C-alpha cells in the first residue's frame, strides 16, 4: 500500500542541507536510494549532511535552484525530485520579500520545467501558511484561503507557496506526476537555533540560557507541531504513493497546542521554572504585521489516500529534540538545565 518506488531510484532533494531536507536525505539513503542534494547553504548547512556525504549513494552540489542549467542537469539524472529549497519562514520573508518571491516562485518554475522534460516525479514543499487567516478549523486542503493585503509582506510567503501549488497542478493536469505537501510546524533535531523564527528553537535556546521565554502576543495562539520524522514520512508517501499524484496534502500532527502550553512543556522537560516575557507582534515584526491565531490541519486526506499517520506525541518529540539540543545549542558557555 505504501511505496511503489524501487529503492535504488535516483532522487534529487533541493534544500537537502536544510532542516527537513537533511532528515529526508537520511531517510532516502536508509531506503537505498541514490540521493543528490542541491542547496545553496543560505539557511542550510554542511553540518546537517556531514554524516552522509561520504556515503557513495549521496552527492552534494552547492548551487541555487535559480540556476536553470544546473537544475536541468541534476533532474536529468533523477526519477523523483523532492523540492524543498526555498526562502523559508516569516522572519526571512519579511526581511527579504523580493528574494523570497523570486526564489520560491522562480526556483519552482525551473524544477517543474525540467521535471516535465525528463518525466520526473515531483513533490513540492508547501506550507500551512497558505491558509492564512482562514477560521475554517481544522484546515482542509480544499478549503478557502484567506490572505491579508499585499502591503503586508508576510503574505508574500503564503502567496509564493500557493502559486507553486497552482503551477505544479497545471503540470499535473498535463500528466506530470506532481504532488504538494503543506507542512505544519515541523520540529526535531537540527532545528536551527539562530533560525528563521521556529518558536521551539527559540524557546529551547532561551530556556538553556536560563532566560525568560519570550511569548509573542498573548501566547494563546495555537499550532500543530509535527515531529520531523512524521513530516518526512508524509513527504515520502507523497512522492511514492500512486494515489498521491496530482494532490495536495496537509502534513501535520493534527494536535492543537497553544504557544503558552508549549512554553510550559519545554520548561518542564528542561527543568526550569516557567517564566515568560510578553512582546507584541508589532515590536518583533514591525507595525504592519498580522499573525495567524489558530493553525490546525485536517489530516484525513493524507490518512485516507496514502496511509499517512503521524506517530510521535509532542511530549515524546520535544524530549528527543531537547536531548539533541542539549549537545548542540548554546555553544558550551551556558549550562543546559
Ligand atoms: N519547517 C517547517 O515547519 C516548514 C513549514 C512549512 C513549510 N516548510 C517548507 O519546507 C521546506 C524546507 O524547510 P526547512 O524548515 O527545512 O527550512 P530550511 O531553511 O532548513 O531549508 C531550506 C533549504 O533550502 C536552501 N535554499 C534556500 N534557497 C535556496 C536556493 N536559491 N537554491 C538552493 N537551495 C536553497 C537552504 O539553504 C536550506 O538548506 C521549505 O520549502 C519550506 O518553505 C517548512
CATH superfamily, domain at 10-185+228-251: NAD(P)-binding Rossmann-like Domain (3.40.50.720)
Q: Is 65 in the pocket of ligand 1 (CB under 6 A)?
A: yes
Contact 238, 249 (CB under 8 A): yes
In this structure, which residue's CA is closest to atom 1 in ligand 1? 186
H or E element that contains 98: helix 97-101
CB atoms within 10 A of CB 282: 12
End-to-end CA distance of the chain: 44
Determine the residue of 41, 86, 122, 228 to mutate for testing ligand 1's pocket, defined as the one with the most ligand atoms within 8 A of the Cβ atom: 86
In this structure, which residue's CA is closest to atom 31 in ligand 1? 64
Residue 5 has φ and ψ, to the nearest 5°, of: -80, 125
Spacing, Cα 86 to ligand 1 middle (Å):
5
In this structure, which residue's CA is closest to atom 42 in ligand 1? 88
| Residue keyed to cell 549521496 | 58
Give me the catalytic one of 157, 183, 216, 329.
157
Ligand 1 atom nearest 129 alpha carbon: 6
In this structure, which residue's CA is closest to atom 12 in ligand 1? 84
What whole-number distance in Å separates Cα of residue 97 and Cα of residue 244?
A: 31
Domain ranges of the chain: 10-185+228-251, 199-223+255-296+312-328
Q: What is the CATH number of domain 199-223+255-296+312-328?
A: 3.90.25.10
In this structure, which residue's CA is closest to atom 6 in ligand 1? 127
Q: What is the pLDDT of residues 134-155, one digit of tens each?
A: 999 999 999 999 999 999 888 9
Q: For the chain, where are the E strands, in sequence order?
A: 10-14, 34-39, 58-62, 80-83, 121-127, 178-183, 186-187, 213-216, 222-223, 226-227, 248-251, 257-258, 276-279
Spacing, Cα 176 to ligand 1 middle (Å):
23
Q: Can the peptide bond before residue 186 be classed as cis, meaning omega within 30 degrees of 0?
A: no
Question: 145 vs 142, 173, 214, 221, 253, CA distance in Å?
Answer: 9, 22, 29, 19, 20
Spacing, Cα 171 to ligand 1 middle (Å):
22
What DSSP assignment string belongs to 273-287? PP-EEEE-HHHHH-S
Q: For 96-209, where are the E strands, in sequence order?
A: 121-127, 178-183, 186-187
Q: Is 36 in the pocket of ligand 1 (CB under 6 A)?
A: no
261 CB-near residues (< 8 Å, 6+ apart):
none
In the residue annotation, 157 being an active-site residue is answered as: yes
Classify 218 as helix, strand or coil: coil
pLDDT tens for the chain, 337 residues: list them: 344 444 689 999 999 999 999 999 999 999 999 999 999 999 999 999 999 978 999 999 999 999 999 999 999 999 999 999 999 977 788 888 999 999 999 999 999 999 999 999 999 999 999 999 999 999 999 999 999 999 988 899 999 999 999 999 999 999 999 999 999 999 999 998 876 668 999 999 999 999 999 999 899 999 999 999 999 999 999 999 999 999 999 999 989 999 999 999 999 999 999 999 998 777 776 666 667 789 999 999 999 999 999 999 999 999 999 999 999 886 534 443 3
Q: Is 41 in the pocket of ligand 1 (CB under 6 A)?
A: yes
Q: What is the pTM of this model?
A: 0.94
Q: Is 66 in the pocket of ligand 1 (CB under 6 A)?
A: yes
Contact 88, 62 (CB under 8 A): no
Amino acid at each position: 500500500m505504501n511505496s511503489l518506488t524501487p529503492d535504488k531510484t535516483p532522487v534529487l532533494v533541493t534544500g537537502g542541507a536544510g532542516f527537513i531536507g537533511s532528515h529526508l536525505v537520511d531517510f532516502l539513503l536508509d531506503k537505498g536510494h541514490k540521493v543528490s542534494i542541491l542547496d545553496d547553504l543560505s539557511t542550510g548547512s554542511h553540518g546537517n549532511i556531514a554524516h552522509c556525504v561520504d556515503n557513495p549513494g549521496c552527492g552534494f552540489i552547492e548551487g541555487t535552484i535559480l540556476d536553470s542549467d544546473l537544475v536541468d542537469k541534476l533532474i536529468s539524472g533523477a526519477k523523483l525530485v523532492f523540492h524543498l529549497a526555498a526562502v523559508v519562514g516569516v522572519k526571512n520573508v519579511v526581511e527579504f520579500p523580493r528574494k523570497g518571491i523570486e526564489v520560491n516562485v522562480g526556483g519552482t518554475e525551473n524544477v517543474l520545467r525540467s521535471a516535465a522534460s525528463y518525466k520526473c516525479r515531483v513533490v513540492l514543499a508547501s506550507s500551512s501558511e497558505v491558509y492564512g487567516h482562514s477560521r475554517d478549523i481544522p484546515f482542509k486542503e480544499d478549503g478557502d484561503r484567506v490572505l491579508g493585503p499585499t502591503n503586508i509582506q508576510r503574505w508574500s510567503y503564503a502567496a509564493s507557496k500557493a502559486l507553486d501549488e497552482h503551477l505544479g497542478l497545471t503540470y499535473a493536469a498535463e500528466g506530470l506526476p506532481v504532488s504538494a505537501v503543506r507542512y505544519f510546524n515541523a520540529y526535531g533535531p537540527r532545528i536551527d537555533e539562530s533560525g528563521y523564527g521556529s518558536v521551539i528553537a527559540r524557546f529551547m535556546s532561551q530556556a538553556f540560557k536560563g532566560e525568560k521565554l519570550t511569548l509573542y502576543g498573548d501566547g494563546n495562539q495555537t499550532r500543530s507541531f509535527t515531529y520531523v520524522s512524521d513530516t518526512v514520512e508524509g513527504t515520502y508517501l507523497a512522492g511514492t504513493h500512486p494515489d498521491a499524484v496530482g494532490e495536495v496534502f496537509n502534513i501535520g500532527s493534527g494536535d492543537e497546542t497553544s504557544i503558552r502550553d508549549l512554553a510550559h512543556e519545554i520548561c518542564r522537560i528542561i527543568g526550569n521554572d516557567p517564566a515568560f516575557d510578553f512582546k507584541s507582534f508589532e515590536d518583533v515584526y514591525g507595525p504592519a504585521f498580522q499573525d495567524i491565531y489558530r493553525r490546525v490541519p485536517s489530516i484525513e486526506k493524507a490518512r485516507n489516500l496514502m496511509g499517512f499517520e503521524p506517530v510521535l506525541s509532542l511530549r515524546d518529540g520535544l524530549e528527543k529534540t531537547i536531548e539533541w539540543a542539549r549537545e548542540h545549542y548554546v555553544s558550551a558557555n551556558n549550562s543546559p538545565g
